[in-house]
């Protein structure tokens, strides 16, 4: 199954904040540079690359010298606005080092759910890819808030990356996280936890392991990653969950090596 990843032409890469920000809150410039190098080289190989990137709030906290996320939504949105500009500034600088042009798209769920807006977004991404440009996509955190009466939020960038992969009919979604894949238990607390090499169906048992109510695996965002995989599988796609500490791992994944968990 993994050998077919070598033939993947249109690939969505999702990076989480843990790849971009050190635990101490500083920006991981090494990882960002490695990511820019890797994705630029994949473009040089003739592949179509879309980057879905978290990190706006993390970068904003660093830029504003804040040591913790503020409590109110307006404050968080302000931090995200500062961080998004700074994050794109860093991305632009690093990608241009490798002569690769990028573009920014900030999306909210209503853009995807209205047919006309969805068509416009899809057309924009298709045009950028045709021009050899890498779209960098994030949720518009200054607009999308997680309130009960406000339905414009994707929920997280895991879901957003799966939706983007669905929209543009990507051959593969590579999700880089702070864990080596999907495990039978939390590997940080259970040394006997085993890695699932391949998963073909998302069922209730897996969702419980990942963070369903009363589960053992309540941290690390695994539940949202499984829900993203569920969306990908529903559209006959492929998703790989792997550790993003060294983004060059993408080369090995696309070479068919046994890395992370393959959902197919």
Which residues contribute to the annotated binding site?
A: 14, 54, 141, 157, 177-178, 219-225
Distances (CA, A) of 264 to 232, 234, 244: 8, 10, 20
Residue 119, Cα to own-chain centre: how many angstroms? 22
Q: Which residues are annotated as a binding site for substrate?
A: 54, 141, 157
Q: Which long-range contacts (CB under 8 A, 24 or more apart) does 110-118 make?
A: 110/151, 110/152, 112/163, 112/167, 118/167
Annotated binding site for ATP: 14, 177-178, 219-225
Cβ contacts of 156 within 8 Å, gap of 6 or more: 221, 224
Q: Angle at which helices 29-44 and 73-97 pack, to 10 degrees?
A: 50
In whole angstroms, give the CA distance from residue 240 to residue 50. 15
């Amino acid at each position: 199954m993994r050998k077919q990843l070598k033939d993947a032409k249109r690939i969505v890469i999702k990076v989480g904040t843990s790849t971009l920000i050190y635990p101490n809150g500083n920006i991981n410039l090494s990882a960002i540079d490695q990511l820019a190098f890797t994705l630029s080289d994949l473009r040089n190989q003739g592949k179509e690359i879309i980057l879905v990137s978290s990190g706006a709030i993390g970068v904003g906290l660093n830029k504003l010298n804040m040591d913790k996320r503020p409590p109110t939504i307006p404050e968080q949105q302000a931090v995200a606005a500062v961080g998004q500009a700074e994050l794109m500034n860093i991305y632009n600088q690093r990608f241009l080092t490798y002569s690769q042009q990028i573009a920014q798209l900030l999306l909210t769920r209503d853009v995807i759910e209205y047919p006309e807006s969805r068509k416009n977004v899809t057309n924009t991404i298709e045009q950028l890819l045709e021009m050899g440009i890498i779209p960098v996509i994030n949720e518009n955190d200054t607009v999308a808030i997680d309130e009960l009466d406000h339905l414009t939020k994707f929920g997280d960038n895991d879901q957003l990356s799966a939706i983007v992969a669905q929209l543009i009919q990507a051959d593969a979604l590579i999700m880089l996280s702070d864990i080596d894949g999907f495990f039978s238990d939390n590997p940080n607390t259970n040394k006997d936890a085993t890695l699932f090499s391949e998963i073909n169906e998302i069922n209730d048992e897996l969702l419980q392991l990942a963070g369903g109510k009363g589960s053992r695996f309540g941290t690390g965002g695994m539940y949202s990653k499984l829900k993203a995989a569920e969306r990908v599988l529903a559209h006959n796609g492929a998703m790989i969950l792997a550790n993003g500490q060294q983004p060059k791992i993408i080369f090995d994944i696309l070479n068919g090596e046994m890395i992370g968990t393959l959902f197919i």
